[in-house]
């Protein structure tokens, strides 16, 4: 799997649960699935961040203690820096697995820290020095607990650093055998030899004595487990320099040569010959060759191969989502939730434990259909629908918070300057980059949010809803894979990867959608012959009335849940030449550079469908039909209440009403605050006698972000406009006049008169 394999992540499973739409093959004209390229992200840097193989946390003296992600960029060394530095590692001596109670407290603490940081930013002159640093350190500690629970690893104990014994004197390290250059008389020749002090190798007796000394030291180390040790890694400078010197240079920039033969008028030029293995086993063929030979053998531009890798990576994330949902949400709903309730419903107390954001998310991705409240209850009672709902929650979260994030894991300052930096250094990036500093922290944030969304659904089928390691580890892998895909999408300056939105209760379109329950829908197709249906489907149809059988012949596929948006790539210009590269785009013809926009479908949208009629047919000629007509239109699918929202269920929070109320209160607060500032500015501009609250402050008024000189006239105008706008019920906001009033301390004025 391309860059997933290079990063040491798990490859494709031997039996992936993929639908026929997700076949290995071509996208557009690309006839291969995955190719291994040289990646811009260092695989070792990724593994050093703590994902994948490490079972303990190691600290280095070069690691910044205030880093929110624990050094998301790995070791932080470049090949040049490694020739000049030595790295010191400290072994963590006391380790212990955090409890699930600590995990819950860490999530709650992160939420409180976010609120505290926002309050700190709004506190003005009352800020306390060091408070932001304290918040960042606490968030770092919480992230370590969350990550340790997700990966099933251990964290260092606070009491481990207290040494009960006096540390022993470290042994003087032996001088290693170093290779030194010996320059001969010829200025162009350089020989490598061994220095005079180390020419003679040690004898066998000396080697035996050294081994005995090392064994005795190891025994002493076992007795002092609570002590910290430092091990210095010696770096051979000359050897590393030789390795860097002998390293293969990067692929040089290609010029725009004239094509040997003019390309066809309506399409691309194809390679003269291609190995047939690409059509049979493309993955095996790609792993045999290196990146240059792959591009040369396929005869395709580099972007085509990159699109295939991104497509396969997204498919792998989809397969992992499907496996996770089947493993943890396939059991039957426990009787404690349905006891004493009407058939086909769940108790009200289940919906009361759903979080505000969870209710909002479910309402946005799913539909109950024309079955009233029973359609919503069936989303949680039906095993296959519940699995699709879990995938939809994960898919919507990673689409909005990961795939569409401009720079996953970056800080605020990096997000502000990312556009300028990408433009300035688009042709000067090195071959490898480290991960953003907040990568781990961002992953843990998404992991915490998904756990809040999915833990109530897990409690439907299991007595213990607390997150075990086997529940969070797959989620952690899914988020990490999606984050790497998001970063790779942002590395191509010539491509825009658009996530095409999907809508529930829409007609299914096979050209841009992939169905989650395709196998079941194929069996339940009402236009299939009864004799060719399996016994279970024949028994279901036998229970239907003749009128329902006749009505269902006109049913179509309708989207019931939107799981994951499709991805489409857009590029400027016509066809590119086979030797076109990311740093030097080459078109097949000179006129292709400004010839329109190319579009390529990378992945289809992922939806859960049902047989029936869409909600759009509820209006005929712009007039809504009555309940009796709806019953005849939808047949047996119609139940009491018809089309209802998720918030219409008993116990479900009215998220939309709460959101509107919060927005109304915020508008009212801003209006009151603006009026108060206007009064103070007006008093200062009129020069009233007596002590003024703005005596030691300078006032600057801004409109649209620009300073305004005539403050007094603007304030008066602003007051008149406020009164004019607020006529009536007082619900309108201030749209003109004073937009922003900034009060800053004045250094010229003294408090003493």
Query: Domains of the chain: which residue ranges?
Result: 1-91+229-638, 658-745
pLDDT, greater one: 359 or 728: 359
Q: Cα(324)–Cα(391) distance, rounded to whole angstroms? A: 9
426-437, pLDDT tens digit by residue? Answer: 565 444 556 788
- Assess contact for 558 and 503: CB atoms under 8 A: no
Query: Residue range 185-207: average pLDDT?
Result: 41
Q: Please tell me which residue, 430 or 451, carries the higher pLDDT value.
A: 451
As a dihedral over the C-alpha atoms of residue 587, residue 592, residue 597, residue 600, rounded to 10 degrees, the angle is -40
Confidence (pLDDT) at 562: 92
CB of 35 closer than 8 Å to CB of 286: yes
Q: 556 to each of 507, 508, 526, how far by Cα in Å?
A: 8, 8, 9
Does the pLDDT value for residue 567 go beyond 90?
Answer: yes
Residue of 388, 326, 317, 315 whose CA lies nearest to 23 = 315
Query: Of residues 644 and 246, which shows the higher confidence score?
Result: 644
Q: CB under 8 Å to 5, separation ≥6 — which residues?
A: 11, 36
How does strand 95-96 pair with strand 706-708? unpaired
- Please determine, for residue 250, whether its predicted confidence score (pLDDT) is greater than 60: no
What phi and psi values does residue 452 have, to the nearest 5 degrees?
Answer: -65, -40
Percent of the chain with pLDDT over 70: 54
Mean pLDDT of the region 580-608: 87
Q: Between these two residues, 471 and 228, which has the higher pLDDT value?
A: 471
Q: Please tell me which of 9-23, 60-74, 149-163, 473-487 the model is most confident about, judged by mean pLDDT.
A: 473-487
Q: What is the pLDDT of residues 329-378, one digit of tens each?
A: 888 888 778 878 888 888 888 888 888 889 989 988 998 888 888 888 88
Q: How far is CA 446 from CA 7, 69, 394, 441, 475, in A?
A: 21, 13, 10, 9, 9
**What's the pLDDT at 423?**
64
Report phi then psi at 553, rounded to 5: -60, -25
Confidence grade of residue 208 (pLDDT, cut at 50, 70, 90) = low
Query: Which bin fits 36, alpha (ψ -120 to 50), beta or left (φ > 0)?
Result: beta
What pLDDT is stored for residue 138 in this prediction? 82
C-alpha triplet 125, 126, 128: angle, nearest 5°: 115
Q: Is residue 90 a contact partner of residue 228, using CB atoms and an 8 Å limit?
A: yes
For residues 414-435, average pLDDT: 62
Mean pLDDT calculated for residue range 164-170:
45
Q: What is the pLDDT of residue 239?
A: 54
User: What is the predicted pLDDT for the residue at 568?
Assistant: 93
Q: Does the pLDDT value for residue 70 go beyond 50?
A: no
CB 611 within 8 A of CB 583: no
Which DSSP state fits 592? Answer: G
What is the pLDDT at residue 715? 40
**Residue-wise over 6-24: b if at least 16 C-beta within 10 A, else e?**
bbebeebeeeeebbeebee
Looking at every residue in the chain, the average pLDDT score rounds to: 67
Tens digit of pLDDT for each residue in 266-288?
444 444 456 777 777 776 777 66
pLDDT given at position 426: 58
The closest of 375, 360, 390, 395 to 456, measured between CA atoms, is: 390
pTM over 0.75: no
Q: What pLDDT score does 296 carry?
A: 72
Q: What is the pLDDT of residue 242?
A: 56
Is the confidence at residue 408, as pLDDT, over 70?
Answer: yes
Q: Is 557 helix (H, G, I), strand (E, B) or coil?
A: strand
What pLDDT is attached to residue 602? 92
- pLDDT at position 154, please? 67
What residues does 597 pair with on adjacent strands?
Answer: 572
* Token pair of 246 as six digits: 């002998």
- Cα 294 to Cα 286: distance, rounded to the nearest angstrom: 7
| 112-137 residue pLDDT tens | 887 777 777 666 544 454 577 778 88
Confidence of residue 516 (pLDDT cuts 50, 70, 90): very high
For the chain, percent of residues with pLDDT exceeding 90: 8
Q: Are 309 and 35 in contact (CB under 8 A)?
A: yes
Contact by Cβ (8 Å): 460, 350 = yes
Whether 315 and 22 have beta carbons less than 8 Å apart is answered as yes
Q: What pLDDT score does 98 carry?
A: 66
How confident is residue 515, by pLDDT bands cut at 50, 70 and 90? very high
Q: Quick one: pLDDT band at residue 5, thresholds 50, 70, 90? A: very low
């Amino acid at each position: 799997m391309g860059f997933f394999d290079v990063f040491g992540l798990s490859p494709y499973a031997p039996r992936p649960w993929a639908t026929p739409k997700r076949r290995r093959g071509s996208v557009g004209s690309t006839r291969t699935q995955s190719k291994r390229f040289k990646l811009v992200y260092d695989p070792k840097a990724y593994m050093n961040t703590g994902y994948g193989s490490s079972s303990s946390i190691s600290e280095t003296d070069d690691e910044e203690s205030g880093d929110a992600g624990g050094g998301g960029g790995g070791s932080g060394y470049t090949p040049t820096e490694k020739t000049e530095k030595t790295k010191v590692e400290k072994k963590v001596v006391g380790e212990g697995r955090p409890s699930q109670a600590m995990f819950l407290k860490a999530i709650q603490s992160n939420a409180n820290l976010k609120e505290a940081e926002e309050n700190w930013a709004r506190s003005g002159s009352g800020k306390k020095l060091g408070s932001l640093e304290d918040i960042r350190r606490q968030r770092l500690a919480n992230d370590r607990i969350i990550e340790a629970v997700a990966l099933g690893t251990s964290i260092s104990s606070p009491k481990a650093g207290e040494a009960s014994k006096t540390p022993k004197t470290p042994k003087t390290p032996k001088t290693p055998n170093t290779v030194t250059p010996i320059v001969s008389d010829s200025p162009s020749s350089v020989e490598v030899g061994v220095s005079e002090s180390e020419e003679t190798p040690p004898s066998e007796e000396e080697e035996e004595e050294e081994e005995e000394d090392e064994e005795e030291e190891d025994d002493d180390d076992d007795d002092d487990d609570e002590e910290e040790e430092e091990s210095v890694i010696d770096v051979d400078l000359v050897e590393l320099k030789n390795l860097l010197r002998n390293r293969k240079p990067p692929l040089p920039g290609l010029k725009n040569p004239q094509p040997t033969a003019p390309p066809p008028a309506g399409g691309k030029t194809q390679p003269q010959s291609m190995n047939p293995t690409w059509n049979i086993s493309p993955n095996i063929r790609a792993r045999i060759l290196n990146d240059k030979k792959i591009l040369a053998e396929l005869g395709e531009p580099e972007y085509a191969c990159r699109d295939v890798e991104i497509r396969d990576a997204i498919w792998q994330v989809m397969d992992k989502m499907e496996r996770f949902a089947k493993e943890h949400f396939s059991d039957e709903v426990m009787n404690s939730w349905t006891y004493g309730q009407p058939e086909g419903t769940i108790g009200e107390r289940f919906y009361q434990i759903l979080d505000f954001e969870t209710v909002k998310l479910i309402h946005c991705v799913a539909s109950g259909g024309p079955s009233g409240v029973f359609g919503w209850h069936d989303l949680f009672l039906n095993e296959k629908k519940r699995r699709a709902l879990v995938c939809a929650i994960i898919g919507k979260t990673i689409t909005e918070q990961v795939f569409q994030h401009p720079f996953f894991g970056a800080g605020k300052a990096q997000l502000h300057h990312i556009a300028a930096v990408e433009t300035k250094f688009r042709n000067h990036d090195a071959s490898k980059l480290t991960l953003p500093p907040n990568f781990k922290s961002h992953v843990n944030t998404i992991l915490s949010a998904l756990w809040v969304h999915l833990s109530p659904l897990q409690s439907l089928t299991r007595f213990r809803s607390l997150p075990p390691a086997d529940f969070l580890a797959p989620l952690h892998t899914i988020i990490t894979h999606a984050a790497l895909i998001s970063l790779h999408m942002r590395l191509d300056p010539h491509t825009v990867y658009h996530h095409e939105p999907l809508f529930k209760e829409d007609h299914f379109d096979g050209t841009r959608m992939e169905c989650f329950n395709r196998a079941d829908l194929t069996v339940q197709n009402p236009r299939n012959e009864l004799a060719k249906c399996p016994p279970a489907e024949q028994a279901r149809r036998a229970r239907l009335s003749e009128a329902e059988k006749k009505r269902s012949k006109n049913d179509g596929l309708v989207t019931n849940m939107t799981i994951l948006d499709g991805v489409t790539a857009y590029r400027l210009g016509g066809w590119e030449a086979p030797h076109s590269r990311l740093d030097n785009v080459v078109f097949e013809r000179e006129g292709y550079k400004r010839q329109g926009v190319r579009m390529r479908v990378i992945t289809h949208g992922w939806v859960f469908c049902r047989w029936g009629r869409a909600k759009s047919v509820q209006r005929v000629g712009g007039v809504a039909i009555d309940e009796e007509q709806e019953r005849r239109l939808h047949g047996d699918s119609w139940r009491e209440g018809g089309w209802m929202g998720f918030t219409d269920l008993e116990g479900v929070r009215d998220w939309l009403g709460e959101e509107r109320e919060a927005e109304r209160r915020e508008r009212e607060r801003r209006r009151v605050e603006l009026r108060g500032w206007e009064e103070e500015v007006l008093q200062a501009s009129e020069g009233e006698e007596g002590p003024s609250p703005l005596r030691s402050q300078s006032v600057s008024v801004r409109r649209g972000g620009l300073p305004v000189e005539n403050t007094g006239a603007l304030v008066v105008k602003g007051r008149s406009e406020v009164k004019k706008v607020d006529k009536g019920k007082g619900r309108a906001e201030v749209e003109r006049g004073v937009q922003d009033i900034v009060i800053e301390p004045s250094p010229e004025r003294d408090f003493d008169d």
